[in-house]
């Protein structure tokens, strides 16, 4: 375990460093609190720190406070080492954010045990953070395709529409639907259908830029939110994406299947005052027109003059 | 109650000190060497602080010496250094002067005892 020690007094520092090294730790040692704080803020900082209380510059308690304020994650386990053993000192030390408090002269066996406690707590913390991140991913992603799920992509659409309006930019919204997908499920079974959805998702992701968003909107419907675009590019981009699906058969366990996608396309610049619900409604209508006029094509959602005069202000 | 440090010898316990160092006698020798260099510097710094009426500096150096000596379980020195630290924090120059004189004597004795301790090492 990498451990940082901070003590301005050389004998104590050397003793600590030597013993911790003997116990198999990788020790970094500094002579004052400010240096300790700088190191602890850095990426890949040691997760356990032993801080002398009284130090020039920032003292141990200052470091504890600053770390708790400025670096909540990853968690740093902090032990204060001090000769101050009055109750109010112990309380002040722990209130500053220290996890443990060791009174000098400390006993090696006791310190070793306290460090094991620290390691145990850090392991627990890591497991919890990992579990939280897994849950966060699952809560925002579709389990089959690993694309953003409907809730997440609609949230993003809402956020992007606000941002693009504020920045007077343009966001392109595309709603794509795999043509005759039901036939795949009915003919080859759901497992093959799942393969098709996963491959379609992979191609959609591959055909946009790293800062665009792709989500699974429904069964075989996908919503794409492309930032910083130009209205004139909308259909071009949509066509590229459409060809990415239609251009090459999808390999499945039951052989290659040729699939196509119909697209509703919308440029936010032409629908400036519209909220996400209206945008989704309009792009869905465009998708419906693409389906109605033969599928495997893109249709642009254009506000007509009548609609412009009726544009809701939300 | 304040012990009178000038009366006491540290009566260092080699076995206990080694226990504090996981039985590492080489480390003990190294720490004694470090302390032999550091302690006179700290005493010198304390004298200067006292001369310049820098009570904060005096308290800091006394605190460091106290911490250093505690690694050898040198209770007499720890108590004597604490006296200087407390006097300095209270701003009691006269008491601090007396306490520092006592501390100097006991540190001198501690250094000798530590040197003997190392020479008595089997290594």
In a shared domain, residues A170 and A133 = no
Domains and their CATH numbers in chain B = 14-119 (1.20.120.160)
In a shared domain, residues A167 and A293 = yes
pLDDT reading at A148 higher than 90: yes
Q: What distance in Å separates residue A68's CA from the closest CA in chain B?
A: 27
In a shared domain, residues A304 and A155 = yes
Query: Distances in Å between the alpha carbon of B104 and those of A103, B75, B80, B96, B101?
Result: 25, 14, 9, 12, 5
CATH code assigned at A222: 3.30.70.270
The CA distance from A17 to A27, in Å, is 6
Quote the DSSP letter at residue A254. Answer: T
ipTM of this predicted structure: 0.90
Reply yes or no on whether A31 is catalytic: no
Q: What distance in Å separates residue B106's CA from the closest CA in chain A?
A: 18
* Cis ω before A74 (30° cut-off from 0): yes
Of B22, B66, B73, the CB nearest to A83: B66
pLDDT in tens, A16-65: 999 999 999 999 999 999 999 999 999 899 999 999 999 988 999 999 99
In a shared domain, residues A294 and A256 = yes
In a shared domain, residues A288 and A166 = yes
In a shared domain, residues A186 and A99 = no
Among candidate residues A91, A115, A138, the one where a domain is terminated: A138
Q: How much is the pLDDT for A177? A: 98
pLDDT reading at A185 higher than 70: yes
CATH code assigned at A25: 3.40.50.2300
In a shared domain, residues A57 and A124 = yes
Q: How much is the pLDDT for A306? A: 41
Q: With a threshold of 0.80, does the pTM exceed it? A: no
Q: How many domains does chain A have?
A: 2
Q: Which of these, B4, B69, B9, B3, lies nearest to B36 by C-alpha position?
A: B69
Among candidate residues A105, A138, A171, the one where a domain is terminated: A138
Residue of A31, A220, A221, A299 marked active site: A220
Residues of B in contact with A10 (CB under 8 A): 34, 38, 68
Assess if residue A287 is contained within a domain. Answer: yes
% of chain A with per-residue pLDDT over 90 = 84
Confidence of residue B8 (pLDDT cuts 50, 70, 90): low
Query: Distances in Å between the alpha carbon of A161 and those of A35, A168, A211, A314?
Result: 45, 10, 15, 12
Assess if residue A145 is contained within a domain. Answer: no
Assess if residue A143 is contained within a domain. Answer: no
Contact A108 B21 (CB under 8 A): yes
In a shared domain, residues A114 and A168 = no
In a shared domain, residues A32 and A114 = yes
**Domain of residue A222, residue span:** 150-309
In a shared domain, residues A21 and A72 = yes
In a shared domain, residues A207 and A157 = yes
pLDDT reading at B84 higher than 70: yes
Tokens of A144: 């089959």
In a shared domain, residues A292 and A236 = yes
Contact A11 B24 (CB under 8 A): no
Of B19, B21, B60, the CB nearest to A15: B21
Among candidate residues A84, A112, A138, the one where a domain is terminated: A138
């Amino acid at each position: 375990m990498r451990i940082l020690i901070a003590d301005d007094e050389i004998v104590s520092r050397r003793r600590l460093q030597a013993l911790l090294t003997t116990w198999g730790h990788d020790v970094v040692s500094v002579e004052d609190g400010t240096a300790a704080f700088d190191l602890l803020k850095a990426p890949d900082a040691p997760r356990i720190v032993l801080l002398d209380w009284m130090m020039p510059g920032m003292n141990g308690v200052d470091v504890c406070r600053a770390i708790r304020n400025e670096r909540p994650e990853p968690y740093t386990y902090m032990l204060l080492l001090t000769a101050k053993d009055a109750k109010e000192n112990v309380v002040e030390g722990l209130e500053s954010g220290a996890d443990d408090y060791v009174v000098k002269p400390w006993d090696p066996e006791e310190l070793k045990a306290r460090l094991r406690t620290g390691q145990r707590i850090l392991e627990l913390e890591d497991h919890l953070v990992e579990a939280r991140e897994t849950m966060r991913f699952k809560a925002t992603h579709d389990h089959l395709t690993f694309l953003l799920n409907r809730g997440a992509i609609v949230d993003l659409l809402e956020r992007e529409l606000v941002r693009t309006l504020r920045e007077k930019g343009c966001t392109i919204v595309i709603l794509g639907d795999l043509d005759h997908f039901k036939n795949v499920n009915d003919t080859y079974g759901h497992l093959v259908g799942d393969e098709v959805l996963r491959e379609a998702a992979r191609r959609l992701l591959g055909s946009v830029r790293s800062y665009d968003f792709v989500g699974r909107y429904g069964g075989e419907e996908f919503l794409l939110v492309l930032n910083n675009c130009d209205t004139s590019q909308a259909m071009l981009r949509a066509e590229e994406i459409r060809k990415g699906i239609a251009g090459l058969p999808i390999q499945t366990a039951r052989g290659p299947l040729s699939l196509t996608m119909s697209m509703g396309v919308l440029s936010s610049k032409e629908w400036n005052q519209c909220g996400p619900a209206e945008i989704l409604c309009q792009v869905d209508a465009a998708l419906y027109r693409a389906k109605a006029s033969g599928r495997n094509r893109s249709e642009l959602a254009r506000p007509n003059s009548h609609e412009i005069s009726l544009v809701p202000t939300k | 109650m304040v012990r009178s440090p000038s009366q006491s010898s540290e009566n260092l316990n080699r076995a206990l000190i080694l226990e504090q160092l996981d039985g590492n006698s080489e480390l003990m020798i190294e720490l004694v060497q470090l302390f032999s260099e550091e302690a006179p510097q700290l005493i010198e710094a304390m004298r200067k602080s006292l001369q310049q009426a820098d009570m904060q500096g005096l308290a800091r150096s006394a605190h460091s010496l106290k911490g250093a000596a505690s690694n050898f379980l040198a209770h007499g020195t720890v108590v004597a250094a604490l006296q200087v630290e407390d006097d300095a924090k209270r701003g009691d120059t006269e008491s601090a002067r007396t306490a520092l004189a006592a501390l100097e004597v006991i540190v001198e004795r501690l250094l000798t005892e530590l040197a003997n301790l190392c020479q008595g090492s089997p290594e």
